[in-house]
Amino acid sequence: MSENGSSVSSEDIVAAYRMFLGRKPSVEEVSVWQGIRSLGERRAAFLESAEFSANQPKAAPEKLPRNLPGTDVEWQTDAATTSLLLKHVKQTWTALGESRPHWSVLSGDDFLPEQIAQNEKAFFDSGKHTLAALTSALKRHGVSSNLNVYEFGCGIGRVTAYLAATFPQVTACDISQSHLDRARQELADRKNVKFKLVEDDRFAMTEPFDLWTSFIVLQHNPPPIIAMILARMFMKLARGGLAMFQVPTYCLGYRFKVAEYLGGGALDGAIEMHCLPQSVIFNLAHQAGCVALEVRENDDMGPPSQWLSNTFIFRKPPIPKP
């Protein structure tokens, strides 16, 4: 058949529809395509049609390149400034827990107060995915599930319920009293959960724990607070214990200077997104004698052309046997 010929049969058109669109064309559609005499015009019109485009697999989102510039992130500060930063985080999240508790945890329209009645089950069901990631990691690294778990940033208990059904003892911690109050209500029948409120730079981590976990939480804290949380966690992690957590480690164009942050009108009660460089996290772990078992990219932030988020798994080696 020549490029400019008109010998495309109705069977050819039906076959094209079935192959590329997964359906049979209507009589009218066959008639329209047969009316286009040039094969090249037929091909172009078909490939450029809205229906054909809609049926094509979506291209993978563009990711950050490997040759990234450095970031200017100030992650150390003094005690007085730490107190100011913590006060701001506490005020922001306590207010969010009062006004939009579910949405503040998973920021989708389905979880706004006016929509939550019909979507609350889906909200809590989503917590099982975090549990699956944790238990899978424990199996990969040969760690028992008979653990004392510390969940940092429990919110209103979305993941806590699954942890409590799997592990013998769970400590659920948050900086927001309003979130904790709701979590207590949700898990009133769980006797193996202890709730703790962050009140100072010890971050409610006063006793050792075997497994420490935190997802989509650390990013809402300024870098000095993220670093202090992780430093405290690495110190209190029990020998042989595991820490599995997520934190953004890079954002294109991100900059954090404490003085600019405190003086630049950033403290407006909005949900903030921050990151902490990988080098800082590895250094904090090293200082506490913890070793990295896994570092994997995740899709908990977006867009991937701007943000890099990692899931880390660290272990504090057990005391060597004599």
Kindly report, residue by residue over 269-304, the tens digit of the pLDDT: 678 899 999 999 999 999 999 999 999 999 888 788
What is the per-residue pLDDT for 3?
44
CATH number at residue 248: 3.40.50.150
Return d(Cα 163, Cα 187) in angstroms, integer. 11
What does the buried/exposed string (b/e) look like for 12-36 if buried means 16 or more CB atoms within 10 Å of the residue's CB? ebbebbeeeeeeebeeeebeebeeb
Number of domains in the chain: 2
Residues 96 and 154 in one domain: yes
Please report which helix (H) or strand (E) contains residue 67, including its range: none
Residues 206 and 292 in one domain: yes
Q: Is residue 66 part of a domain?
A: no
At residue 81, does pLDDT exceed 70? yes
Residues 24 and 114 in one domain: no
Mean pLDDT computed over 242-265: 90
Residues 125 and 228 in one domain: yes
Q: How confident is the model at residue 2 (pLDDT cuts 50, 70, 90)?
A: very low
Mean pLDDT computed over 146-175: 95
Q: Is residue 246 part of a domain?
A: yes
Its domain, for residue 28, covers 10-54
Residues 33 and 113 in one domain: no
Residues 46 and 115 in one domain: no
Across all residues in the chain, what is the average pLDDT?
87
Percent of the chain with pLDDT over 70: 85
Q: Is residue 244 part of a domain?
A: yes
What's the predicted TM-score (pTM) here? Answer: 0.80
What is the per-residue pLDDT for 268?
59
Question: Beta-strand (E) ranges in 233-290?
Answer: 237-251, 255-256
Q: How confident is the model at residue 4 (pLDDT cuts 50, 70, 90)?
A: very low
Kindly report, residue by residue over 262-273, the tens digit of the pLDDT: 887 555 567 889
Residues 44 and 150 in one domain: no
| Widest pairwise Cα distance in the chain | 87
Residues 45 and 188 in one domain: no
Residues 96 and 38 in one domain: no
Residues 16 and 118 in one domain: no
Q: How confident is the model at residue 209 (pLDDT cuts 50, 70, 90)?
A: very high
Structure tokens at 1: 């058949």
